[in-house]
């Protein structure tokens, strides 16, 4: 995150645009964009995503996936630049446009595709998945609304998916952020445990930890609104640096996005089973 940090949208080189009914049963994927009105509409996997596997018995677990940013943010500066609560007595812009690779592949498209793949895989394991946005063409939702979706869903884990955009020489690798110092009990040990499980799982999957932010792949943060406002175990994954050629190539490819999704899915499942 190149440290123009923005709330739950923590991505580097984030450019502010110029200017979430009855809950679905476990083992289904739900999209929520306003509260308190969860939608039971199933999410639509990207055309490039693998076919669904055989669904396992319901686990009773709920995971909220928060794909960073949104494809329509850049066209609605008035909406995404409005100030909203960001926790710790502060306000920040509703959202940002996110970053992109040097060749123009946007972070919002990457986070949407990877989140859809994770949602499909977790649903196949009998885990109910809630998404904070329903497509990659809309605006927002704001970071406080994204946090509220996780809280309302009583999520066992809230995982925000992002990618960074640092221009620092040699900057590469992933890191996992969590709220610190904690503002409530769920931001304490549960969130730290979730962040550590994600870090361990992604690293075990062959991805290197960040060379430029955090320590050993973990980054305690006090400035991310979505984490500050969460009352559930929550963490934010910066999958890598989109300005690094090798990581940009992986994020831009279907194979690379599937690899990211697979290791994050396993890490979440391991956390829920622990």
CA distance 94 to 8: 10
Helices (H), ranges, the chain: 77-80, 107-124, 143-152, 189-204, 225-228, 245-252, 254-273
Structure letter (DSSP) for residue 24: P
Length of the chain counted residue by residue? 274
Give, in order, the Cα–Cα distances in Å from 14 to each of 10, 204, 248: 8, 28, 16
CA distance 90 to 84: 9
In this structure, the number of other CB atoms found within 10 A of the CB of residue 144 comes to 20
3-state secondary structure of 12: coil
Active site members: 238
């Amino acid at each position: 995150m190149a440290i123009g940090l923005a709330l739950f949208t923590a991505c580097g080189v984030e450019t502010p645009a110029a200017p979430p009914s009855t809950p679905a049963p476990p083992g289904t994927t739900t999209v929520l964009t306003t509260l308190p009105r969860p939608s039971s509409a199933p999410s639509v996997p990207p055309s490039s995503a693998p076919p669904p596997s055989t669904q396992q018995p319901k686990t009773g677990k709920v995971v909220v996936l928060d794909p960073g940013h949104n494809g329509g943010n850049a066209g609605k500066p008035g909406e995404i630049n409005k100030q909203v609560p960001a926790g710790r007595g502060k306000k920040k812009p509703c959202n940002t446009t996110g970053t992109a690779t040097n060749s123009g592949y946007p972070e919002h498209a990457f986070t949407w595709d990877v989140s859809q793949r994770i949602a499909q895989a977790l649903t196949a394991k009998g885990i109910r998945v809630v998404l904070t946005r329903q497509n990659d063409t809309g605006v927002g939702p704001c970071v406080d609304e994204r946090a509220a979706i996780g809280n309302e869903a009583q999520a066992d884990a809230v995982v925000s998916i992002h990618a960074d955009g640092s221009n620092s020489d040699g900057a590469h690798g992933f890191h996992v952020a969590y709220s610190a110092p904690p503002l409530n009990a769920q931001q304490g040990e549960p969130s730290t445990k979730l962040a550590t499980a994600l870090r361990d799982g992604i690293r075990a999957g062959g991805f290197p930890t960040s060379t430029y932010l955090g320590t050993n792949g973990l980054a305690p943060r006090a400035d991310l609104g979505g984490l500050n406002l969460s009352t559930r175990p929550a963490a934010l994954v910066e999958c890598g640096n989109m300005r690094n050629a090798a990581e940009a190539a992986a994020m831009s490819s279907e194979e690379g996005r599937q690899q990211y999704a697979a290791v994050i899915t396993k890490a979440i499942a391991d956390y829920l089973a622990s």
